[in-house]
Amino acid sequence: MHLKRMIAGVDEAGRGPLAGAVFAAAVILDPANPVTGLDDSKKLSEKRRIALEQEIKHRALCWSIATASVEEIDQLNILHATMLAMKRALELLPITPEFVRVDGNRLPDICFPAEAVIGGDAIHEEISAASILAKQARDRDMIVLSQKFPDYGFDSHKGYPTAFHINALNQYGVTPYHRKSFRPVRKLIKR
């Protein structure tokens, strides 16, 4: 019988928003205990993601979630901060992967054999699982942020540049959780 390699899937959540950290997750699924219904987190309903998140955490051989802060995003830029969060997530895994699949077109600075897979969250289950964990963790973080700053609606738009969010920024100003290097926020600060 062919033994399946320890393959870690890695994905991020939160590259596009104007506020909050960028999250990354790494997952090594258990071939003997599969999770059915995995897909790109953006294609799943919130209810389905919540159910799958619990299943992934219960059935995977291991998983981890890491972030890069708003300060790191502003200091490094969003791409490099994303790579840093992915690297951190991989380093937090309690099992060393034999191979890593990363969603996207580039790899973080890691010492594992790896490949970048464009659209990987819809192709490889381990990346789909990572996509779901990263999205759920970030969404929860934005709900907590919404309690600190109720006027901004972070619980609904999750920090993305919606009309409501832009109006709130114009009305109430920039919070410490806004990414100052992102154009809409930078323009407001300059005013």
- pLDDT, averaged per 10 consecutive residues of the chain (191 residues), comes to 74 97 98 90 92 97 98 98 98 96 96 95 96 97 97 96 95 96 90 73
DSSP H helices, 30-107, are: 46-59, 70-76, 78-92
Domain boundaries, given as residue ranges, for the chain: 7-190
pLDDT of residue 3: 47
- Domain covering 7-190, topology: Nucleotidyltransferase; domain 5 (3.30.420)
Confidence at residue 1, expressed as pLDDT on a 0 to 100 scale: 36
Tokens 């830029």 belong to 77
Whole-angstrom distance, CA of residue 10 vs CA of residue 92: 12
State the pLDDT at residue 4: 58
Q: Could you identify the residue written with the tokens 């060393």? A: 96
Q: What is the pLDDT of residue 189?
A: 86
pTM of the model: 0.94
